[in-house]
């Protein structure tokens, strides 16, 4: 039993090392709707891979000296999106890292192209119930400060899911512990790195398809 656990740990460490190596200076970029778990899972993924973690929303707030709610209220969404595009373009120069983006970031074609050029996109895909349960806990998301946040979220899912689906990797975001989500991402990255099993030559890239 102990031997099996040791083997599993070794297998996981090997996967993590291979992913890290294959990234070079690229970033792992988490995308998906509000409440999908991008920041919470991203932070743990970064720790597992021994990579820095960056939260794009926090960086936007730091650059603006305002919270996202304040930016939306004072300047409007279009202004926020322009800042978001610039900040993410800048952050993508800092790989390797795990970068969590705000839910709308990947909808921007320029940002999508920048992510493609400088990273591996990972869509944390969650259903309406999971998303609403998670976002219900906080009131810091201007797009959900409406009479009927559930209908707003449904609309965003309809608009955005087809675009999120362009991500390099999709991982189901369930009500599982974050560590389980991290393992699922690691397995998906590892499978992408070695689609035909563990015989991929050294130097393979997670990006190659
Ligand atoms: C937004 C998501 C938020 C934040 C802003 C807009 C969106 O980030 O960027 O409120 O358009 O979905 P999270 O996805 O981290 O909540």
pLDDT tens digits for range 56-108:
999 999 999 999 999 999 999 999 999 999 999 999 999 999 999 999 999 99
- Quote the domain boundaries for residue 108: 2-193
- The verdict on residue 58 lying in a domain is yes
Look at residue 207 and tell me if it is in a domain.
Answer: no
Name the token pair of 43: 């932070």
Q: Is residue 42 part of a domain?
A: yes
Q: Which atom of ligand 1 is nearest to the CA of 142?
A: 10
Q: For the chain, how many structural domains are there in total?
A: 1
Q: What is the pLDDT of residues 118-149, one digit of tens each?
A: 999 999 999 999 999 999 867 789 999 999 99
Asked if residue 80 belongs to a domain, the reply is yes
112: Cα within 13 Å, side-chain hemisphere: 15
Q: Is the CB of 61 under 6 A from ligand 1?
A: no
In a domain, 203, yes or no: no
CATH code of 97's domain: 3.40.50.300
**Distance between Cα 101 and ligand 1 center (Å):** 8
State how far the Cα of 185 lies from the Cα of 44, in Å rounded to an integer: 11
Cα(58) to centroid of ligand 1, in Å? 11
């Amino acid at each position: 039993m102990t031997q099996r656990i040791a083997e599993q740990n070794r297998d996981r460490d090997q996967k993590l090392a291979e992913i890290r190596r294959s990234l070079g200076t690229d970033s792992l970029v988490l995308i998906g709707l509000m409440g999908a778990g991008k920041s919470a899972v991203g932070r743990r993924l970064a720790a597992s891979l021994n990579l820095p973690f960056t939260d794009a929303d926090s960086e936007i707030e730091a650059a603006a000296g305002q919270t996202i709610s304040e930016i939306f209220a004072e300047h409007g969404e279009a202004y926020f999106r322009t800042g978001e595009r610039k900040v993410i373009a800048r952050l993508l120069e800092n790989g390797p890292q795990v970068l969590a983006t705000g839910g709308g970031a990947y909808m921007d074609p320029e940002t999508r192209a920048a992510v493609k050029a400088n990273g591996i996109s990972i869509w944390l895909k969650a259903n309406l119930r999971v998303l609403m349960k998670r976002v219900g806990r906080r009131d810091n998301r201007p797009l959900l400060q409406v009479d009927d946040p559930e209908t707003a979220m449904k609309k965003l899912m309809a608009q955005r899911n087809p675009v999120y689906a362009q991500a390099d990797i999709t991982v189901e975001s369930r009500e599982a512990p974050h560590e389980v989500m991290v393992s699922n991402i690691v397995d998906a990255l590892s499978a992408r790195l070695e689609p035909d099993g563990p015989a991929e030559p050294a130097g393979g890239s997670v990006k190659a398809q």
